[in-house]
Homo-oligomer: A and B are copies of this chain.
Amino acid sequence: MIADAAMRLFRRDGYDGTTMRAIATEAGVSVGNAYYYFSSKEHLIQAFYDGMQVEHADAAVAVLAREKDFEPRLRGVLEAWLDVAAPNHEFAGQFFKNAADPESPLSPFSDESTPARAASTELYRRVVDGADIKIAPGLRAELPGLLWLLQMGFVLFWVYDKSPDQARTRALVTQGTPIVDRLVRLARLPVVRGIVDDLVKVVAGLRSE
């Protein structure tokens, strides 16, 4: 209820333009009561955050059922994210800075975000596992995590994208995914394999610490 009121106002007035007092009034409660349920203004975003992830997962399911090749699967999932996120682009940037704070629970790298991160990585595991593509053995286990990281890169670009309808990000996805596809295929070549294995080793080593 309070979260709904917050979302309405966030969409209408932006994140910074919405005060906790306004949210409380809109929800018909006192300011203190809003803080009883959400320990900060930031936490009000988490609900929205989670909702978007679920929406994305749903949209991705349709894509993965339809596409069999790796590139369309990856592209479809990324474009699904863009579709889901598009209505919120304007104020997404405003709370992006909160997500970037290493201390914030909203940070994609935080402990609190571990479930969301795992769910998202799992999505990319399905992208990889269901695809008609041969993957270098060493790369297979790490690829979903790397694709999640790639998505974070696209999100970063999207947040900064001021072009109408975020056309630049869409173009980047369209042009980028074929390159990723070719990179993954390339990774099986003997000359390239060694370096890919080293790269995977570094990534795996970082995560295990």
Contacts and interface: CB of A to CB of B under 8 A. Distances in A.
A179 B196 CA distance: 9
B206 A168 contact: yes
Nearest to A199: B179
Given A192-B186, A192-B192, A202-B175, A168 B93 contact: no
A48 interface: no
Given A97-B104, A102-B93, A160-B109, A195 B175 contact: no
Q: Give the interface residue-count category, chain A.
A: 35 or more
B182 A195 contact: yes
A198 B186 contact: no
A54 interface: no
Contacts of A186: 191-192, 195
A176 interface: yes
Interface string A158-169: 011001000010
A179 B202 contact: yes
B192 A102 contact: no
Most-contacted residue by chain B among A159, A176, A191, A202 (CB, 10 A): A202
Interface string A84-109: 00000000011011111111100101
A195 B183 contact: yes
Contact of A100 (B96, B175, B195): B96
Nearest to A189: B191
A34 to B, nearest CB: 22
Contact of A172 (B94, B159, B163, B202): B202
A90 to B, nearest CB: 11
Task: Give the 3 A-B CB pairs with smallest separation, nearest first.
Answer: A100-B100, A97-B101, A93-B102
Interface of A: 93-94, 96-104, 107, 109, 159-160, 163, 168, 172, 175-176, 178-179, 182-183, 186, 189, 191-192, 195, 198-199, 202, 205-206, 209
27 contacts: A93-B102, A93-B103, A96-B100, A96-B101, A96-B102, A97-B97, A97-B98, A97-B100, A97-B101, A99-B100, A102-B159, A109-B160, A163-B209, A168-B206, A172-B202, A175-B205, A179-B195, A179-B198, A179-B199, A179-B202, A182-B195, A183-B195, A186-B191, A186-B192, A186-B195, A189-B191, A191-B191
